[in-house]
Structure 1
Amino acid sequence: MSAENIVWKDSFAKRASRMNASEIRELLKLLDQPDVISFAGGIPDPALFPTGVVEQAYARILADPARSGPSLQYSVSEGYAPLRAWIVRHMAALGVPCDIGNIVITAGSQQGLDFIGKLFLSPGDTALVTAPTYLGALQAFNPYEPRYDTLALGGNRTPDSYREAAAAAGGRVGLAYLVPDFSNPSGETVPLAERLALLDLAAALDTLVVEDAAYQALRYDGEPVRAIQALDVERSGGIEQCRTLYCGTFSKTLVPALRVGWICGPSAAIAKIVLAKQAADLHSPTINQMVMHEVAAAVYDAQVEKIRKVYHQRRDAMLAALARHMPEGVTWTRPEGGMFVWVSLPEGMSGAALLARAIAECRVAFVPGGAFYGEGRCDNRLRLSYSLSDPGQIEAGIGRLGALIRQVRAGA
C-alpha cells in the first residue's frame, strides 16, 4: 500500500492563515550585507552589551557546586525567585508596589504578548491598538483571531462606540494594547492626560490594558511620564485591584539573546499566565535567568546610563540629518527616547516602493510603515531606527535617502 503525500497547506488550522512573516525579520538579513546602511532593525547595538559581566556570571554559576546543578535543571514556571525579587524592587521604583506573586518570567516580552493574546482574546473579540502599533504585537495576537479597532488616544470616541463596534463584529473588547514610551514604530510618548483617559476607557469597557514597556528606560530628554500601571495601582488601591498588565524586558537594556522578560499584574491574572507558560515551554532557561539576575544586580543602572548616552547621540544625529537632507513635504517625529523615528512621505508616495529603490539604488534599508497597522494601511510612512548606526553612517544614509526621495518626487 502507498499513501499520497500530505498536502501541508491544506492541513493547517484556520488560525494559521493569520500567521504572516515579519517584514522586519526579513529585512534584518540585510545586516549581513556590509555595503547596506540599515535603519531597519530596531535592535540594540551588540558593541554595547555587557559581555564581560555576562561571561563572568556564567562562569561563577557553573563553577559553584551549589548552583551549577540547579542552573541546568528544570525549574518552576513562575521564574527564578531572586530574579523576580529584583524585578519587584524595579517595579517599586516605577511606582508599582508588588511582590513576587505578581511577577512571571517570560521568554522576552514577546512571549508575554502571545500568552496575553491566548488568554484574553477569543475569535471575534476586539483588540484596541494604536495606529501605528508594534508589529510583533499584531503577530502575537493574530492567531487568536481578533478584529482590530484603533485606540484613539486623545480622540473623541466614546466607550459606547468601541463597545458597539465590537458587539457588531460578534465579540467584546478583549484588551487595549499600547507602547506608551517612545513607541515602536512612531517614537512617540503618550502624555499623562491620555494615560489617565485610557484607564477611564478601560474601566468603562471593563477590559484590561496591556502596557508594553520595552523602551521605558531609554529616555534621553524631557520629563518622565508615570507608568500606566503605576497610575492604575494608585487609582485602584493596589496591584490586586488594577486592570493593567505591564510587560517588561531586559532585551533593550542588557542583552536580548538570553530572552528574559516579565509580566507584572494582579496575582489572579499571573496565575493563569503561569499555566500558559507551563503549556508552552515549562519555564524559561534556568541558567539564563540566574545570569540575568547577577548581571542586573551588578550593572543595570550603569548599563542603562551607558546606552542612553550612545543612543541619545545617534538620535540627535538622525534628527539633524533629516533636517538637512529631507525635501519639503517630508515630516517626522521627534522622540524623546527609544530607537525610532517615524517619517511621513508626501501623499501618494509608497514606502514599500521607496524601499525597493533605496536598497537597489543607494543601499539604504528601512521598514515601510504599512506593516504597523491592525486595520488599514498608511503606505506613505516609514520607520527609521538609529540604534545600530554611528553618526557618520546616519549622515550618509539619510543623505542618500533624501536624494532618492527628491528623485521620486521629480518622477525620475
Structure 2
Amino acid sequence: MSALDWSAVFATRTERMRASEIRELLKLLDQPDIISFAGGIPDPSLFPVEAIRDAQDAILADPVTAAQALQYSVSEGFIGLRRWIVGHMAATGVPCDVDNILITCGSQQGLDFLGKLLLSPGDTALVEAPTYLGALQAFNAYEPRWDTLNVDGGNRTPAAYADAAAAATPGGRVKFAYVVPDFANPTGLSLSVESRKALLALAAELEIPVIEDAAYRQIAFDGEPLPAILALDCAANGGDIDKTRTVYCGTFSKTLVPAMRVGWIVAARPIIEKLVLTKQAGDLHSSTLAQMTMARVAETTFDANVLRARALYRGRRDALMAALAASMPAGVGWTKPKGGLFAWVTLPEGIDGAELLAHAIAEERVAFVPGGAFFAEDRMANTIRLNFSLPNESAIAEGIGRLGRLIGRRAA
C-alpha cells in the first residue's frame, strides 16, 4: 500500500499558510552567544510569579473553586475576569458590561476568530504596510485579498477602496480595517487622534468594522495616552457600545505573563454573540484555571506590573536609541517609539534585511526580524525590526555596535 499524498488532500487555503519567521528565530534564544533583537519577548523578571503561585494555591486549596477551575466552563469566559475587564475598559473610556466581552486564548486567537467570522475567499482586508505578522498569518488562512490602509495621509477615498475590492473579485467587498494604533508592531509608532477619527469615518463610509489590536497600549513611556479607537467610537455613539463598529482585542501577554494565553475581545453584542459560537466550535472555552488565576493576579498586581514594565522598557528604549545613534552608518534611519517593544530600521537601498540576517548571525552573532515579513505584499526588503524588551542595556549597546559594523561593511 502506497503512502498517502497529503498535499493532494489539503484545503486550498493551506497554500497561503507560512511559517512565522519570528517563531523560527526564537529558536536562537537557546544559543547563549546570540544577542537577539528578534522576538517580542517580555522580560521574565517582570512576571508576577509569586502572585500567580499564591492565586493558584488559593484556588486549588478550596474544594469549591478547585472544582470550578478544573471543570468545563462557559465559552464566554470566567465571569470574575470579565468583570475585571469591565472596570479596566471603563478606565480606558469604554463603557461596557460582561456581555460585551469574550475571553480568548491570547489575542492571537481573537484575530483568527475574527478572520474566520468576517472573511470569505476574495474579500478585501485593509491593513497597514507594514503591519503585525501574526495578524497577516491569522487572516491569510481565510483567503482574503489585501489592500493597503493609508491612515496617516494618502488621497484614497472610500469609493476607491470599494471599487478596487469589487474589481478584484466578482461581488467582492471590503470587510474590515485592521490596525495596531498604539506603539505598533513592527514600527513602534502610534496613530494620532486625527488619524483614529479619520479611520472611523472611513469605516463608516465603507460600512465595515475596525479591528483595534491593543496589545501594547499599556506599555507607554512618553506623553499623554491617546484615546482608544473604541473609546472614540463609543463617545460618537452616545456611550452605547452596542452601536459601535470597533472590535477591541486586548491581552495580558505583554503586561503580566504570556504563557497563560489569556486575551479578550470587547465589542458590540451582535459580534460577540457570533464570536462565542466560533469559540464553542474552536476549543469550547479557554482554560478556566488560567482565567481564574489571571482574575486574581490582575486585581492585585496589574497596575503595579504595568508601571514596572514601563520603567524597565523605557530604559531599554533609551539605550537602543543611543546605540543606534552611536553605531549606525550614514543612510540608516529608525523610528523613535514612545512605547511598546519595537523600533523599525530602514537600511540603505540595496541591503536586503533577510540577507543581512544571515550575515548577522554568521559573522556577528546578532539576530533580528527582516522587515519584509510584515508586509502583506510589495515588501520593503531594506527594513528590519528590532525588539528592545528582552536584551539588557549592555547587550543592546554591544549588539547594535556589532550590527552597525556589519551594515557598514555591507554598504561599502
* Aligned mates of 1:56, 1:31 — CA distance in 2: 29
Q: Following TM superposition, by how much is the alpha carbon of 1:223 offset from its aligned partner in structure 2, in angstroms?
A: 2.0
Q: Following TM superposition, by how much is the alpha carbon of 1:161 offset from its aligned partner in structure 2, in angstroms?
A: 0.7
Q: What does residue 52 of structure 1 align with?
A: 50
My pick for the range that moved more, 191-200 or 5-14, is 5-14
Q: What does residue 229 of structure 2 align with?
A: 228
What does residue range 175-190 of structure 1 map to in structure 2 within 5 Å? 175-190=176-191
Q: For each residue in 1:242-273, what CA deviation from the matched residue of structure 2 results, as whole angstroms up to 9, or x when unmatched?
A: 00000000000000111000000000100000
What does residue range 223-372 of structure 1 map to in structure 2 within 5 Å? 223-237=224-238, 238-372=240-374
Are positions 1:200 and 2:205 aligned together? no
Q: What does residue 379 of structure 1 align with?
A: 381
Residue correspondences, number: 408
Q: What does residue 86 of structure 1 align with?
A: 84
Q: What does residue 218 of structure 2 align with?
A: 217
* Aligned mates of 2:41, 2:149 — CA distance in 1: 26
* Aligned mates of 1:48, 1:360 — CA distance in 2: 31
State the SS of the aligned residue for 1:353. helix
* Aligned mates of 2:224, 2:355 — CA distance in 1: 38
Are positions 1:95 and 2:93 aligned together? yes
The one-letter code sitting in structure 1 at the alignment partner of 2:348 is P
Are positions 1:10 and 2:8 aligned together? yes
State the SS of the aligned residue for 1:144. coil
Q: What does residue 172 of structure 1 align with?
A: 173
The one-letter code sitting in structure 2 at the alignment partner of 1:60 is A
Q: Following TM superposition, by how much is the alpha carbon of 1:322 offset from its aligned partner in structure 2, in angstroms?
A: 0.2
The one-letter code sitting in structure 2 at the alignment partner of 1:181 is D
Q: Percent identity?
A: 62
State the SS of the aligned residue for 1:321. helix
* Aligned mates of 1:222, 1:233 — CA distance in 2: 23
State the SS of the aligned residue for 1:74. coil
State the SS of the aligned residue for 2:141. helix
* Aligned mates of 2:54, 2:225 — CA distance in 1: 34
What does residue range 141-160 of structure 1 map to in structure 2 within 5 Å? 141-153=139-151, 154-160=153-159
My pick for the range that moved more, 101-110 or 150-159, is 150-159
Q: TM-score, normalised by structure 2?
A: 0.98
The one-letter code sitting in structure 2 at the alignment partner of 1:101 is D
Q: Following TM superposition, by how much is the alpha carbon of 1:95 offset from its aligned partner in structure 2, in angstroms?
A: 0.5
Q: Following TM superposition, by how much is the alpha carbon of 1:197 offset from its aligned partner in structure 2, in angstroms?
A: 0.2
* Aligned mates of 1:191, 1:348 — CA distance in 2: 32
The one-letter code sitting in structure 1 at the alignment partner of 2:110 is G
Q: Following TM superposition, by how much is the alpha carbon of 1:29 offset from its aligned partner in structure 2, in angstroms?
A: 0.3
State the SS of the aligned residue for 2:379. coil
Structure 2: stretches of 5+ with no match in the other structure: none
Q: Following TM superposition, by how much is the alpha carbon of 1:360 offset from its aligned partner in structure 2, in angstroms?
A: 0.1
Q: Which of 386, 390, 401 is 1:388 aligned to?
A: 390
Q: For each residue in 1:52-102, what CA deviation from the matched residue of structure 2 results, as whole angstroms up to 9, or x when unmatched?
A: 110111111000112011100000000000100000110010000000000
Q: Following TM superposition, by how much is the alpha carbon of 1:144 offset from its aligned partner in structure 2, in angstroms?
A: 0.4
My pick for the range that moved more, 234-243 or 282-291, is 234-243
What does residue range 14-25 of structure 1 map to in structure 2 within 5 Å? 14-25=12-23
* Aligned mates of 2:303, 2:154 — CA distance in 1: 37
* Aligned mates of 1:51, 1:161 — CA distance in 2: 51
* Aligned mates of 2:177, 2:121 — CA distance in 1: 16
Q: Following TM superposition, by how much is the alpha carbon of 1:48 offset from its aligned partner in structure 2, in angstroms?
A: 1.3
Q: Following TM superposition, by how much is the alpha carbon of 1:181 offset from its aligned partner in structure 2, in angstroms?
A: 0.3
State the SS of the aligned residue for 2:386. strand
Q: Compute the RMSD of aligned alpha carbons.
A: 0.6
The one-letter code sitting in structure 2 at the alignment partner of 1:286 is T
The one-letter code sitting in structure 2 at the alignment partner of 1:208 is P
* Aligned mates of 2:188, 2:365 — CA distance in 1: 24
Q: TM-score, normalised by structure 1?
A: 0.98
Q: For each residue in 1:141-198, what CA deviation from the matched residue of structure 2 results, as whole angstroms up to 9, or x when unmatched?
A: 0110001100001221100110000001111101100100000000000000000000
The one-letter code sitting in structure 1 at the alignment partner of 2:281 is A
What does residue range 22-37 of structure 1 map to in structure 2 within 5 Å? 22-37=20-35
* Aligned mates of 2:271, 2:168 — CA distance in 1: 26
Q: Following TM superposition, by how much is the alpha carbon of 1:376 offset from its aligned partner in structure 2, in angstroms?
A: 1.3
Q: What does residue 162 of structure 1 align with?
A: 161
* Aligned mates of 1:122, 1:333 — CA distance in 2: 35
* Aligned mates of 2:24, 2:62 — CA distance in 1: 41
* Aligned mates of 1:360, 1:62 — CA distance in 2: 49
* Aligned mates of 1:375, 1:357 — CA distance in 2: 25
The one-letter code sitting in structure 2 at the alignment partner of 1:224 is P
State the SS of the aligned residue for 1:47. helix
Moved over 6 A (4+): none
* Aligned mates of 1:280, 1:247 — CA distance in 2: 18
What does residue range 123-138 of structure 1 map to in structure 2 within 5 Å? 123-138=121-136
The one-letter code sitting in structure 1 at the alignment partner of 2:384 is L
Q: Following TM superposition, by how much is the alpha carbon of 1:4 offset from its aligned partner in structure 2, in angstroms?
A: 2.3
The one-letter code sitting in structure 1 at the alignment partner of 2:148 is T
Q: Following TM superposition, by how much is the alpha carbon of 1:383 offset from its aligned partner in structure 2, in angstroms?
A: 0.1
My pick for the range that moved more, 234-243 or 201-210, is 234-243
The one-letter code sitting in structure 1 at the alignment partner of 2:155 is N
Q: Following TM superposition, by how much is the alpha carbon of 1:348 offset from its aligned partner in structure 2, in angstroms?
A: 1.3
